[in-house]
Structure 1
Amino acid sequence: MAHLLGAEALHLEYPTKVVFDGVSLGVDEGDRIGIVGRNGDGKSSLMAMLAGRREPDSGRVTVRGGVTIGVLEQSDVLPDDLTVGGAVVGDTPEHEWAGDAKVRDVIAGLVGDLDWDAAVGTLSGGQRRRVALARLLAGDWDVLALDEPTNHLDVEGIAWLAEHLKRRWSAASGALMVVTHDRWFLDEVCTKTWEVHDRIVEPFEGGYAAYILQRVERDRQAAAIEARRQNLARKELAWLRRGAPARTSKPKFRIDAANELIADVPEIRDRVSLQSLAVARLGKDVVDLLDAGVSYDGREILRDVEWRVAPGERTGILGVNGAGKSTLLGLVAGTVQPTSGRVKRGKTVKVATLTQRMDELDPHLEEPVRVVISRLRTTYSFGAGSKAQELTPGQLLERMGFSSAQLSTPVKDLSGGQQRRLQLLLILLDQPNVLILDEPTN
């Protein structure tokens, strides 16, 4: 298969962390690559470097002459005042795009149910994502780089996207790189998997299920090697401890080797540990929606909704993009007012919402993570009674999976997943007793 693009000895680092060190890899025609890894390990940064959107600190990315690369950003970058049609086809005359079967298929599959002249700012998060995807997929690209393409999409949208990507190119042409946490999507679309971890990129054959099987086998072999290392370490340690007189006659090279063996313990990956936060007291009356309805510009979104939210309730809300899920949550939160019916709230209710977009972090983009948290309070209490703990902002952030080095990292340099985690933490620290999560796993 012909080579499309490649990377040689890529090195990328922030002031507080080395992300990649000496990474070399390539993308060939026919490759369908899923990129997986923990938040903050560099998945989006890797794809941005390969797509030419970011320069590495050292090393180089080479692209075969004439190869075009289309990129879907993780964040929503569409202007609110742009129309759906303007976003998807731009200034292309109608007779041109309407005569292209591929463009017609993309429009029908992603935005066929949307008003062509509607402003992007009036759309839901899922509808905006579909417009962004249609804008990209309507183009002609040799390589597609998709960063979290399934974010905000409903089940129908995800299924259509998977099917489109499978038949977009012939088996031996085109290339796809995709960062996503959707395991079904990875299995459905990808033929290779790259795991990003510990400054390296490790390739595996197959989709997500095949990758997991191979990684389990790799970890089993690593565990067997580690067991042998520990067994040898115990023997060497016992040998070192055999009395001072004997130690003086021990060969120095063997002492050094034994000490190195004992010290060679692999670093344990960070674990997210978030204990229950103290919350404000919640009475028996929470939020009641009584025959509530919402309309925008004469278009009815919700009608005759009756929902009485009870203390301790855990409710999941499902529906296609544009059905009104976020509007319903807005009624509960108080950010949306009903155009019919009414909403009744208990006196002790304190609502907090994790929104689809991360606008709350915009004022803090230049500030280090530690500063953002410490500005709220100097100490935080976890638990109650004899198990109560007082934590500093730094200790709290480490409980949330941020390393010590990342505490001094500006918010703008965090990965999308880490920013989402910080956004959630800021909401929880306000100690709400009613928590609304709008697409929390994005």
Structure 2
Amino acid sequence: MNYVSAENLTKSYGIKVLFENISFHINEGDKIAIVAKNGSGKSTLLKILMGKEIADSGTVMINKDIQVVLFDQEIDFNPDLTIDEFMMALDSAPILALKNYHQSLYSTDHDFIEKALAGMEAHKAWDLENEMKQILSQLKITDLDAKMGTLSGGQIKRVALAKLLTETRAEHRHTLLIMDEPTNHLDVEMVEWLENYLNKAKITLLLVTHDRYFLDSVCDMIWEMEDKNLYVHNGSYATYLENKMIREDNLNATIDKANNLYRKELEWMRRQPKARTTKSKSRIDAFYETEKVAKTDTSKQGLELDFEMKRLGNKILELKHIDKSFGNKVLLKDFSYSFQRGEKVGIVGKNGAGKSTLLNIIQGFEKADHGEIETGETIHFGYFSQKGLTYKEDERVIDFIKEVAEYYPLANGKSLSASQFLRLFLFDDQTQYSPIAKLSGGEKRRLHLMYILYQNPNFLIFDEPTNDLDLPTLTVLENFLQQFQGSLIIVSHDRYFMDRIVDHILAFEGDGKIKDFTGNFSEYREAKSKQDSPEKPVVQKTEPLKDVSPAISSPSAVKKKKLSFKEQRELETIEKEMPELEEQRKKILDQLNNESDYEKISKLSDDLEKISEKLEDYEMRWLELQEILGEG
């Protein structure tokens, strides 16, 4: 069933063309993610689909039998309503049936009671209330009598998300669910629950997100908005990266070392979402080394920064026996930690656990109840908080940055101008000379980030830096931070970002307890999962010891005993066919690099995907068989 069809849409603001003559279709069951730089028109396109904006030209046809529901960054609500009243303020037949049923519980009017029961049956509303409570519980909303006006911004967003999911569940009509950055203000447990919920739900979804693990888990199609065009990629995030690479290779007509690394990254990325936690550390390390190339437009990248960071002394930052409580809630209890030069620390934990409080104590914005903080004399903090950018209404982007300095110093004695630094962070010349007030929300966030980095701090503190940043900006930021020689603290729920950047985790586990873990975020989560759900000990039968001859104890002899005849034949087949498949794959890549016909590119891309999938299956099976051999 077709939900939406758009033909030749064009939209401009003044002289800036967001997109031009783009066409697309949304069919029932599609789960689509939009990937684009902030300011490319993502939000405008969503508003056009919602009927809140009108395209300059082109047509949008929305099936009259569907409803379009939007989860937006801006939440409209009456502050005097309780959470329960806000949740029940839905104009849908199942919700109305549920409200009538609640009223009938206190009524003596038999006719009203019968009608209420009939309404519950007719609209299949019996399970709705229970599901609504489960959704609220998963999103950590428990006090349904609390007034909306008393909630924090993150709580309001979670309540609005719960309402939206309930509405989608309550309506038995066909629904197109549009979600703009739904994972902002959600902790990791909530994000993983939402992933699972959207995967299981029979819905049609159009999603804007910067969370790459979430995107890959939920969506099976990606729309890429770039240079006024819209490119449709069927498949995973890896498929999008691969198609983007092919397009850029054909446009540039050159293949250099970066492209080769790019292809290796894409090949690895195809396997990453399926078995992320089982990958060897060497593979993960290799991925993070090459991934920065994978998402970079090599035709546009012309700068690699070698920073001249402000000098760090011997003493960086030391916390000694820090305590902090608010009333009966203990956030920090006898916490001590000494930050080292070049250390990249990730801070994780549930919302309200005290992560932001620790950042404030480190910088002197709040005082600890007890304990001592020693900060090195040479330390210059750069703090990127969740607060917005402060600027003059008519101030231009380039002038705002030049207030810090005209040039950014490089280690080789050279420097970057303010304009060059802006360009590195995806501000083109036209945007640089535009008033800040005319930037999109995401562009202002990007400018705020760049403003912090341009001050050349030697100790960076980031509090949820990925919220509202687009994927291209995140790529630039990740590349910057990987080269950064100073110390770094990141508070973030973005699993992909944390995995790429940090090498050490401080985990707030509640009641003032902070776990010190060496490794990245996924490794911490895996270790914690094993700790929370320890495997039951395997009880083995005790057998008398037997003499083992040298021949039987040799590795080859054990292997022969461990693999069945069928498994041995399977291993031989895999080892024979894998090189042949690799050769086929190489030939297809060579053809793609020299092909300009779109239909042929599409056919070759399909062939490449099939061969890559078969290679992946072979590799995983080969590893399983090797594990069996190793157990011997």
TM-score range, shorter chain: 0.7 to 0.9
In structure 1, what residue type is equivalent to 2:349?
A: G
Contact 2:183–2:191 (CA under 8 A) maintained in structure 1: yes
Contact 1:382–1:388 (CA under 8 A) maintained in structure 2: yes
Change (3 A) 1:390 1:183: closer
1:368 aligns with 2:384: no
Distance 2:449 2:78 in 1: 25
Distance 2:150 2:299 in 1: 41
What is the aligned length?
389
2:204 maps to: 175
Following superposition, the deviation at residue 20 of structure 1 comes to: 0.4
Aligned CA RMSD, in angstroms, stands at 3.6
SS at match of 1:59: strand
Distance 1:101 1:69 in 2: 24
Change (3 A) 1:38 1:165: same
Contact 1:84–1:131 (CA under 8 A) maintained in structure 2: no
In structure 1, what residue type is equivalent to 2:34?
A: I
1:404 maps to: 429
Aligned to 2:226, which of 194, 197, 200? 197
Following superposition, the deviation at residue 202 of structure 1 comes to: 1.6
Aligned to 1:332, which of 353, 357, 362? 362
1:249 maps to: none
1:153 aligns with 2:186: yes
In structure 1, what residue type is equivalent to 2:63?
A: R
Following superposition, the deviation at residue 107 of structure 1 comes to: 0.8
Q: Normalising by the residue count of structure 1, what TM-score does the alignment of the two structures yield?
A: 0.75
Q: Map Cα deviations across residues 306-329 of structure 1 (whole Å, 9 max, x no partner).
A: 122233332122223333222222
In structure 1, what residue type is equivalent to 2:326?
A: Y
SS at match of 2:420: helix
Contact 1:84–1:119 (CA under 8 A) maintained in structure 2: yes
Q: Identify unmatched segments of 5+ residues in structure 2.
A: 91-98, 104-124, 255-296, 468-632
Contact 2:248–2:299 (CA under 8 A) maintained in structure 1: no
Following superposition, the deviation at residue 68 of structure 1 comes to: 2.8
Q: Map Cα deviations across residues 14-63 of structure 1 (whole Å, 9 max, x no partner).
A: 34531101112222222211112344433333223223343333334333
SS at match of 2:179: strand
2:408 maps to: 381
Q: Map Cα deviations across residues 390-430 of structure 1 (whole Å, 9 max, x no partner).
A: 62x33331233211111123334434543332111111233
Q: How does 1:39-50 map to 2 (within 5 A)?
A: 39-50=38-49
1:251 maps to: none
Distance 1:412 1:7 in 2: 31
1:137 maps to: 165
Distance 2:23 2:87 in 1: 36
Q: Which piece of structure 1 moves more, 23-32 or 62-71?
A: 62-71
Structure that is richer in helix per residue: 2
Distance 1:167 1:274 in 2: 43
1:89 maps to: 87
Q: Map Cα deviations across residues 216-237 of structure 1 (whole Å, 9 max, x no partner).
A: 55566x36x947xxxxxxxxxx
Distance 1:57 1:278 in 2: 47
2:217 maps to: 188
Q: How does 1:65-84 map to 2 (within 5 A)?
A: 65=64, 67-73=66-72, 75=73, 77=75
Q: Percent identity?
A: 32
SS at match of 2:349: coil
Following superposition, the deviation at residue 119 of structure 1 comes to: 6.9
Change (3 A) 1:130 1:366: farther
1:349 maps to: 379
Q: Which piece of structure 1 moves more, 155-164 or 143-152?
A: 143-152
In structure 1, what residue type is equivalent to 2:176?
A: V
Distance 1:374 1:43 in 2: 29
In structure 1, what residue type is equivalent to 2:457?
A: P
SS at match of 1:68: strand
Bigger radius of gyration among the two: 2
Change (3 A) 1:423 1:52: same
1:394 maps to: 419
Contact 1:16–1:409 (CA under 8 A) maintained in structure 2: no
Distance 2:308 2:230 in 1: 40
In structure 2, what residue type is equivalent to 1:162?
A: E
Q: Normalising by the residue count of structure 2, what TM-score does the alignment of the two structures yield?
A: 0.54
Distance 1:272 1:291 in 2: 47
In structure 2, what residue type is equivalent to 1:208?
A: Y
Aligned to 1:304, which of 314, 334, 337? 334
Following superposition, the deviation at residue 341 of structure 1 comes to: 3.0
1:246 maps to: none
Contact 1:87–1:131 (CA under 8 A) maintained in structure 2: no
Contact 2:401–2:451 (CA under 8 A) maintained in structure 1: yes
1:165 aligns with 2:198: yes
1:322 maps to: 352
